Amino acid sequence: MSKVTTMKKAIAQHVHSGDFLYIGGYICRPAFSAIHEIVRQGIKDLTITRSNAADDFDLLIGAGCVTRFVSTFLSLGFYGLGRCFRRAIEQGIPHKLELEEYTNLSLPMMLMAGAMGMPFVPVKDLVGSDLLEVKSFLGDQKYKIIDSPFDGRKTVLVPALNPDVGIIHVQQADPEGNAQIWGIGGDCKYGANASKKVIVSCERVVSREVVGKDPSRTIVPSFKVVAVVEEPFGAHPGYVPGFYDVDFGFGFEYQQASQTEEGFQQFLKEWVFDQKDRTSYLQHFIDRFGYRRYAQLMADFDYSYPVSYEY
């Protein structure tokens, strides 16, 4: 049963204001085209999560879609601090943003716990830091400290997370949603599997037979997936291993634009609201910067060695 659809339909049908979303990718495979569509559809009051966030989450926050963020980190990396993120927290622009802050150990573990049906998970970090002192919308449920019933040692437990929707961008998926990746994974496998339903955005839709040639690459099984969207260059300006490189130039454009609220709004108009979908976004990219720059992003190719699963 094919679940292939457009991003517009996938978001309209499965993402609602007030939802709790996991959105995968950090520089590697960010689900940018899904994020643009969420902004375009004016979805509001979202709670979002991922370990390590960058320009994609900064944009979603600046666009006013987010009220709560289960976070560890947000920056534009090489280009410094996330400006929309700062404006939201420092000045409440476009509105207040509530943060529940964890770390790149504890948050991935919470997603893993969510994926595995564990109610909570013990972690060894957080202690002795002020991250234990600040609690936001999770309140007393942010963490618990117990004396381990095994050895009496003080142990921090953090709760499992189960987002309403997980959105990931992957290299390839079959029409039913079996999704495959290779290269840097971040917390994408557990974030998606912790979610009650998954939207898979991919560089290419492949046949079930292609998936079956290398089933160890699959990170999400079809039965969790509600929509499959073929969205080439869907992670731009992030990258996808084997497909295209990071677009540092575009990252700089974003950083410059987002320095001011006006600049950010102009960026949103140009790259999100004035584009009806990913195709027109790419058309506009080529119109604006030239095909040469687009082509230069294309990845080189180097073969991995084939293996066999036969007996």
Confirm if 281 and 293 have CB atoms less than 8 A apart. no
Upper half-sphere CA count for residue 138 (Cβ side, 13 Å)? 20
| Least Cβ distance, residue 246 to its own copies (angstroms) | 8
**Interacting residues with another protein between 244 and 283 (CB under 8 A):** 245-246, 248
Distance CA 6, CA 257 (A): 29
Site for another protein in 82-141 (CB under 8 A): 82, 85-86, 89-90, 99, 101-106, 108-109, 112, 115-118, 123-131, 134
153 touching another protein, by CB under 8 A: yes
C-alpha distance from residue 138 to each of 128, 158, 161, 180 (Å) = 20, 11, 11, 33
Alpha-carbon Rg for the chain, nearest whole angstrom, is 20
Q: Could you say which of another protein, its own copies, none residue 275 binds, taking C-beta under 5 to 8 angstroms by partner kind?
A: none
292: partner contacted, choices another protein, its own copies, none (Cβ within 5-8 A by kind): none
How far separated are the first and last CA of the chain, in Å rounded?
29
Q: Pick from 12, 135, 185, 232 the residue near another protein by CB under 8 A.
A: 185
Bridge partner residues of 63 (DSSP): none
Closest CB 77 distance from its own copies, rounded Å: 16
Q: Does 292 bind another protein (CB under 8 A)?
A: no
Among 187, 203, 231, 253, binds another protein (CB under 8 A): 187
Widest CA span of the chain, in angstroms?
Answer: 65
For residues 25 and 52, give the distance between their C-alpha atoms in angstroms, rounded to a whole number.
9
Query: Using CB under 8 A as the criterion, what x/- string covers residues 37-66 for binding another protein?
Result: --------------xx--------------
277-295 per-residue burial string, b: 16 or more CB within 10 A, e: under 16? bbeebbeebeeeeeeeebe
CB of 228 to another protein, least distance (A): 13
User: Between residue 2 and residue 31, which ones bind another protein under the rule CB under 8 A?
Assistant: 26-28
Q: Which residues bind its own copies (CB under 8 A)?
A: 109, 116-124, 141, 144, 146, 148-151, 153, 155, 157, 159, 171, 181-183, 185, 210, 213-217, 239, 241-242, 244-246, 299-311
The two three-digit tokens of residue 71, written as one number: 């976070």
